[in-house]
Amino acid sequence: MIITAAIYIFGALAVLATLLMVFQRNPVKAALLMLTALLSTAGLYLALSAQLLALLQIILYAGAIMTLFIVALTVTPAAWRDKPAPALIRRVAGLAAAAVILAELLKLSTALKAVKTSPEFSETGTLEMARLIFGPFVFQFELLSLVILASIVGAVVLTAKKRSAQ
């Protein structure tokens, strides 16, 4: 019961924060609203008994990625991003496209209405996850390390080029 309530509360909080973020023009306030959405997602993971994922969500998303965004907002001059709100037609078109996406997704998933779930507290099964990662999914895991290596090299090359050009 309390877990179901937690799912609704954290879900509503995440949706509300994202909704406010769409209409927030100040980028720093938008970043803080994004932080709220990410933290309530962590709460949602906790309610769904995914404790490891909740921790990773806080460390990776709310910690590392948010810091990256704040740094990006600080190093770029404010004059480059001060701009009036986009044209009304563009906003309406964007919102309409998103509404169509939502309607289609909800229509497609009506079959899920028959599937009952009763979220209960359970242990996260970190050991099983580790066995999966280093067992059947080891190829994907190694591929992922390659992706991260490529992204590190890419980021260093992009920013180092800028430094030498000065």
Partner 1 sequence: MTQYTLAAISFTLFALAAAGFLTAGSLVRMLMFLELMLNAANIAFVALGPGTVSRTYAVMLFAIAAAEAGVGLALIIALAPAFKTLEAGNIKELKG
Footprint (CB under 8 A) of partner 1, residues 63-122: 64-65, 68-69, 71-73, 75-76, 80-81, 83, 86, 90-91, 93-95, 97-99, 101-102, 105-106, 109-110, 112-119
SS (H, E, C) 24-90: CCCHHHHHHHHHHHHHHHHHHHHHCCCHHHHHHHHHHHHHHHHHHHHHHHHHCCHHHCCCCCCCHHH
Residues 100, 101, 107, 108: what is their CA dihedral angle, to the nearest 10 degrees? 150
Task: List CB contacts of 59: < 8 A, sequence separation 6 or more.
Answer: none
Number of residues binding to partner 1, judged by CB under 8 A: 82
Per-residue mark of binding to partner 1, 21-40 (x: CB under 8 A): xx----x--xx--x--xx--
Residues 118-157 that bind partner 1 (CB under 8 A): 118-119, 124-125, 128-129, 132-133, 137, 140-141, 144, 147-148, 150-152, 154-155
Binding to partner 1 (CB under 8 A): which residues in 45-64?
Answer: 45, 48, 50, 52-53, 56-57, 60-61, 64
